[in-house]
Structure 1
């Protein structure tokens, strides 16, 4: 499943990239998630998803100018969060992609439920990105 959203952020691209490169800033926009540093480019992740507590590891897999990508795997699901950042008048344009992939039988079963909630998840992504943009 692939969700996307985009927004304008009143911050220069380099500064926005630095902000997004620090996942502790994600905690501020989601009360259902907490991150603890676990090494270079890795964080232990605890989150509540559909009323269930889940744990995993968030790993930064790409950090090049204009692009950041994070990956987490839990309960047979792989979740990729990508940020594309471009300079724009008065700040930066931010495009965000959130991808879910079932990597096990359990993960594929979970995908069925997630697909039924796609519209709600899209709205949630848009709200989180708007909060990130305001706080950046």
Structure 2
């Protein structure tokens, strides 16, 4: 059992729960009432109830390959439209969209590292982006790729 789990009040708004799940990276969010667990909510519960587009976009990000990356943009734009229609406060909207873009950037980095492993020799690389922490990795690859001198 997790010590000091992330929880939410039974009286919190839908997007408060969605933001907590996305920002804290939890899979199950205990719902509290009078210091007691009143239930548990998951990302699937929230998205099924409100908007399947978010869930589909998150799944597309996690499974994206080089060819399917451009399709994710449309999904994120649909989510933004939905958040605006639902009159979600801008600060919460920005948190949700930032988390989606961070996941997307993480997937792009993973795909890039995979490509580098196929074609480059061992090297240190760095990916920097606003909102993302610096990521240093050493990519070990064979030297018979198109860049054998690296």
Query: Which protein shows a greater Rg?
Result: 2
Greater strand fraction, Structure 1 or Structure 2: 1
Which structure has the higher relative contact order (CA within 8 Å, separation 6+)? Answer: 1
Query: TM-score with structure 1 length normalisation?
Result: 0.32
Greater helix fraction, Structure 1 or Structure 2: 2
